[in-house]
Structure formats: C-alpha cells, structure tokens
Amino acid sequence: MDGGGLRLNMNALDYVLLALYFVTVLGVGFAARRAIRTSVDFFLSGRSLPAWVTGLAFVSANLGALEIIGMAANGAQYGVMTVHYYWIGAVPAMVFLGIVMMPFYYGSKVRSVPEYLRLRFNRPTHLLNAISFAVAQVLIAGVNLYALALVMQALLGWPLWVAIIVGAAIVLVYITIGGLSGAIYNEVLQFFVILAGLIPVTVIGLVKVGGVSGLMDAVRDSRLGEAGLHAWQDTGSTANPLGAHWLGIVFGLGFVLSFGYWTTNFAEVQRALSAKNMSAARRTPIIAAYPKLLIPAVTVIPGLIALVTVKGLGAPSGDLQYNNAIPLLMRDLLPNGVLGVAVTGLIASFMAGMAANVSGFNTVFTYDIWQAYVRRDRPDAYYLRIGRYATIAAVVIGIGTAFIAAGFSNIMNYIQALFSVFNAPLFGTFIIGMFWKRMSALAGFWSLLSGTVVAVGTYLLYKGGVIHFNSDLEESFWGAGLAFATVAVVAAILTPLTAPKRDEDLRGLVYGMGGIDVKGDVLAGDAAWYRSPLLLGVIALVLAVVLYIPVF
Amino acid sequence: MDNRSEPARDPLVSGAESEQRRSAAARLFDIRRVIGGLFAVYGIIVTLMGIFDNQAEIDKAQGVRINLWAGLAMLGFGLLMLLWQWIRPAEPPASPEERGVLDGSGDSGPGSPGGR
C-alpha cells in the first residue's frame, strides 16, 4: 500500500463501484443506439427530450474539470467570494438564455449556434465561428482528458497513458454509438453521481470543523481572515481576496464573461436544442440554474474546509496545491465505500466535460463545416456516418492533445484561457444581431473578427508583459469588455455603410420580425403555471439575490 | 398567437427537419430506470459496507457512520427514481404528429399533407 502523496486507499469494493459505473455508462450508450435513425436523432436526440433531462445535462456539461476541482481550489484560495462565479456569474445568464434568446435558437430550428450566424449574417461569419469553435472543442477535450488522467494517476496510481486511453475509450464508445442521447443521458447520470460523491465529503468535513459556525471561526483564523467569509464587502476597492472591484464583478464576470459563455457556447446550448418543444427548450437553462445555485455548497465549502484542515495547503507545486483541495479531503475523511463513490463522481465529472466538448464538436463539424462547405446535398444517412467519424476523430485528436498537454501543461492552460476569450465577442455579435435588425451581414463578420482580434490581442499582450493587470481575472474582465465594445463600435460604423438583409430573411431570427411562435408546439401540461419559463426564471434570480444575504 | 408566420427558410435546416418524420427518438428508453437501478445497487453495496464498518473506518469519518447513511440515502434515492418512473411513465417523446407531421408509427410513412 502506497501511503505517499495523494494516493487513495481504494479497496476491491471501491473498484467494484467504479466498474459498475463504467459498465452503466457504456450500457446507456448501447441502449441509446436504437433511438438513432436520422442525423437529427444523432446530433440533437431527435429533439425529443423532456426539460428535466436536458436541464440536468445542461448543468452537467459544465461540471467538468474546471468546475469541481477549480471551484474548490478557488474556495480555498479566495474564500466565499467564489460564489460570484455561480450566483452572479452564471444564473442571470442562464435565465436570460432561456427567456430571451432560446425562442430565436429553438424557434428558427437551427441545428447549432454557428448555424444561427449563417442565417442571421452570412457564410464567412458562420465559417469563422464554426472553425474556431471546432478547434477549441477538440483542444479543450484534450485538456479535460489530461486533467482526468492526472487525477487518476494521482489518486489511483494508474499510469498517465492508461488513464488517458481508458477515459477516451469510454467517451468514444458511448458517443459514437449513442450520439447526443448517449451523451445527455450519461450527463444526467453523472450529475447525480457527482453529487453522491461530493455530499459525503462536505458533510464529514463540516462535522470535523464543528459545523458551519466552527468553519466560520476557523476561516477567521486562517490566512483569508474575516474577508474570506464575505462576497461583497470590500469590493469598493480591489483590496479583497479576489482582487476585484464590484464593477468588475457585475459587468465583467456577471455580464460579459458569463453571458458569453452560457448563451453562445454550443456545447451548452446543444442540450437545450435537443428538448422536445419550445417550452422545454426555454426551461432547460432555467432548470439548470437551480442546481447551479446550490453547487457552491459542495465545491466552495469543501474548499474552505480544506483551507482550515489541510496544513500547508496552497503550495505553488506538489501535492498541496489548491487544486488538490477535494482529493485531499477525500483521502483524509472518506472510508472505503463512499470513497469509491467519490472517486467515481470525480471521474464522472471529467468525462462529462469531455463528452460535452466531443458532442458539440461532431455536430458543428458535420452540419456547419462538412455539410455547408464540403459535401452538400447528400442523403441524411451520409451525414449520420460523418458524425460518427467526426466523433472518432475528435477523440483521437483529444488523446493527442492530452499527450502534448502532458509535456507542456502550462501551454495548455494558456490555450484554455485563450479560447475562453472567444466568447465575449461572439456574445456581442449575437446580442446586437438579435435585437438590431438593421445590422448588416458584413458588419456581423467584421464585428466578430475584430472583437476576437482585440480579445486575443489583449490576452497576448498581457501574457507578454506589455500591458499590466492585477490578476488573470482582471485581465479577462478587461479583455472581454474591450472585445464587446469593439464589436458594438464596428457594428455601428459598418452597418450604415453596407446593405441590410431583407426582412423576410430575418424572420424568426431577429427581435420584432415575427416568425417566432413560443406556444405553437405546446404539449398538454406545459401550460401549468409551474412550467412557465418566465416564472421559473424570476424565482431563480430572486434566489440568487437571497442566497447572497447571509454572506454579504 | 394567431399570426403563425413561418421563420425564414433555409434548405439545410428544412432538409434535416423533413427527416424528422423518420426519427426513431420515440424508442429512447427512460433514463430514470438507469439512474434508479445504479443508485439502488450502489445503495445496497455501500449500506452493507456500512453495517460491517470497523471502528477505524468510523473514526476516519469523524465518528459518522457515513457508509451506512450514504448507502441508505442512495438506496432511497434510487428507489424513488424507480417509483417515479413507475407512477408516471414517460410520455412518449414528442411524436411526429405533435410536430405537425402526419405519420402513424414513427417509422417511415407518408409525408405531411400540410401540417406546419
């Protein structure tokens, strides 16, 4: 038995629990196969899923490597301020997506987010976005895979290459065979397994530190001090753990960054497009907002517990990095049994993240690149086949990226951060295009391109040391804000100089042009008040405000 | 809304939509059965481990019989999922008729005489 480092003391029954999970995941993929006959079945689950399934998949697709490990690390490093990533940095954007934007996405029957750009603007805008999205997805899938392998290596002692191949093979099988239904069904399952793994860590951790009040006392005595228990105090300046001014939190994180990620990231939006009707599609991100409100309880709180119970946490390298907050708690607190469930939950979270990237990629590659620009007008079965090949290619490239990441882990961090800056200009282009019918096709293309150049440029200048920001977070606020402003300015200048699109081409795509019917496909039961997207959305927003009160 | 105007037409989009009547999505199984099954099995295994936990394991978990409680909770959750599925079986996923495409079985059939 290797007692050193992060290695967990897994016994045979723990491995049985893990193996049962792998078998179930593969079984879901195989069982979903019989529901696939058309490309829409494969890429969008035949637009047939109920809202609670797509909603949980929506939140699960985001519960990848960054989320569980990263947010617990942030909890340990920045304290309670980490909740901003959830309550202001996610929930409002999710509600906005459901109430305001989803009628355009779902109502126009587009099959992907880039496809909306093709209909609203023109083919160059579409191709630009489709390619950047596709490249980002395979690279990020590789980063997720590498993170998965690192955890399996550290916790279970598996060699890196074995972990990479096993993780990739499982995701490959269930998506190639089961398509988006396989991915989404597994995401719903993963959601519950992740919770089943995190809740025992949190509960025992709280028992150890003497409950919530014990934890608060301990945090006051920790490196963070009183500031670690407040979300908004001291945000009048940047003298707070996160180093962020409230303006930056509200407009940078809460508006530009979060709206960019949640409303235009196809790996997320795809889940809503697979819903069975307009009402279910609109409720998808809103249903997802409710778990999102509560997830900090099992990420930020364990982070704080790790901060006060693990001596020396926060080392720049080695086993005591902030990123290991949750694995360290698992090692210290969980007996065999729940330990197996927790490890399974952690691995499930990585696979969920990677699967979302892969299923987003195969759809965009097939519909937006292959069908639109390479081979048009083939029978549907042809595109279904291409989708399966694209899945295999994505996973193989992901494996390659993961091995590259193993050699240059810093470079991969930069790549991931770099792609996150693509969202802000994209959101700017979308939101202006959706609400300003005059915005021309050419303006769409140049807005997106120039916004992207500004975002990438700001990032590279910061990394190159030319411009100075207090933290990476501050850079991302500013980079995103500048990109958004650039999009707006370029759109305002170019639109009057270029030809508008014809009104009939904008039906169903732009606000105020008609062509959208949010009630046309309504099913029995959807009219119930508790299924109103507007009401559910408002309640989620109110809860986000109320939850802030005890940690103000 | 009485003004049911059509959204803008695009050949690629409507091509894929017209394939919709061949969709086999109605044959998709109910995920609640899988979640319920997996959690019931997890619950049984972990509860049994909890019953036979030795003192060292209980001490590691700060005196909480976590395997027992977590096992029972997972078992209860799994059974609830199965019960939910049993009480309210899935409405078949929106069939082609509901989308305004006339087609009896979900298998290939005659096209729509004007649904949408």
Instruction: Supply the angle between the helices A423-435 and A113-120 in degrees, to the nearest 10.
Output: 50
What is the average pLDDT score of chain B? 75
Q: What DSSP letter does each residue of A77-138 carry, written as one string? A: HHGGGGGHHHHTTTHHHHHHIIIIIHHHHHHTT-SSHHHHHHHHS-HHHHHHHHHHHHHHHH
In this prediction, residue A386 has a pLDDT band, given cuts at 50, 70 and 90, of very high
Partner-chain contact A35 B25, CB within 8 Å: yes
Q: How far apart are CA A283 and CA A125, in angstroms?
A: 29
Between A193-207, B86-100, B102-116, the lowest mean confidence (pLDDT) is in: B102-116
DSSP class per residue in A358-411:
HHHHHHIIIIIIIIIIIS-S--HHHHHHHHHHHHHHHHHHHHHHHHHHHH-HHH
Q: How many CA atoms lie within 13 A of A25 on its CB side?
A: 34
Q: Which of A15, A25, A38 to mutate to test the interface with B (most CBs of B within 10 A)?
A: A38
Mean pLDDT for all residues in chain A:
88
Q: How far is B93 from chain A (nearest CA, A)?
A: 5
The reported pTM is 0.90
Tokens of A75: 């909890």
- pLDDT tens column, A416-459: 676 667 888 999 999 999 999 899 999 999 999 999 999 889 88
Q: How many CB pairs under 8 A join A and B?
A: 198
Nearest to B34 among A28, A504, A516 (CB): A28
What's the confidence (pLDDT) of residue A2?
37
Q: Higher-confidence residue: A452 or A478?
A: A452
Pick A41's closest partner by Cβ from B1, B25, B99: B25
Share above pLDDT 90 across residues of chain A, in percent, rounded to a whole number: 49
In this predicted model, what pLDDT tens digit does every residue of B34-68 receive, in sequence order? 999 999 999 999 999 999 888 888 888 888 889 99
- Which residues of chain A make contact with B13, given a CB cutoff of 8 A? 108-111, 115, 119
Chain B residue with the nearest C-alpha to that of A39: B16
Say which of B16, B57, B100 has its CB closest to residue A40: B16
**CATH number for domain A12-549, candidates 1.20.1730.10, 1.10.10.10, 1.10.390.10, 3.40.50.620:** 1.20.1730.10
A207 in B contact zone (CB under 8 Å): yes
Indicate the domain borders of chain B.
20-87
Q: From residue A510, give the alpha-carbon distance in Å to each of A9, A103, A199, A439, A484.
A: 57, 10, 44, 10, 19
Q: What is the pLDDT of residues A503-536, one digit of tens each?
A: 888 888 888 877 777 777 777 777 788 888 999 9
Q: Which residue has the higher pLDDT, A81 or A523?
A: A81
> In sequence order, what are the beta bridge partners of A49?
A275
Residues of chain A in contact with residue B51, where contact means CB-CB under 8 angstroms, are none
Q: Is the distance from CB of B66 to CB of A204 less than 8 angstroms?
A: yes
**Contact A372/B12 with Cβ under 8 angstroms?**
yes
Q: Does A421 touch chain B (CB under 8 A)?
A: no
Q: A450 near A487, Cβ under 8 Å?
A: yes
- For the segment B65-80, the average pLDDT, to the nearest whole number, is 94
Residue A39, both tokens: 């490309």
Q: Minimal CA–CA distance to A358: which of A43, A22, A36?
A: A43
Cα of A110 to nearest chain B Cα, Å: 6
Alpha-carbon span A203 to A396, nearest angstrom: 39
How far apart are alpha carbons A489 and A493 in whole angstroms?
6
Domain ranges of chain A: 12-549
Q: Which residue of B has its CA nearest to A50?
A: B93
- Beta-carbon contacts of A200 under 8 Å, excluding residues fewer than 6 positions away, are A334, A338, A341, A342, B66, B70
What is the pLDDT confidence band of residue A479, given thresholds at 50, 70 and 90?
confident
- C-alpha A235/C-alpha A164 separation (Å) is 42
Beta bridge partners of A275: A49
Q: Which amino acid is at B15?
A: G
State the Cα–Cα distance between residues A229 and A240, nearest whole angstrom: 11
Amino acid at A46: G
Nearest to A514 among B3, B58, B94 (CB): B3
Q: Which residues of A touch B50 (CB under 8 A)?
A: 337
Q: What percent of chain A has pLDDT over 70?
A: 96
* More confidently predicted of A512 and B80: B80
Kindly indicate whether the ipTM for this predicted assembly is greater than 0.90, answering yes or no: no
Residues 52-111 of A with CB under 8 A from B: 53, 107-111
Smallest Cα distance from A380 to chain B, Å: 7
Nearest to A68 by CA among A146, A167, A147: A147
pLDDT-based confidence at A4, cuts 50/70/90? low
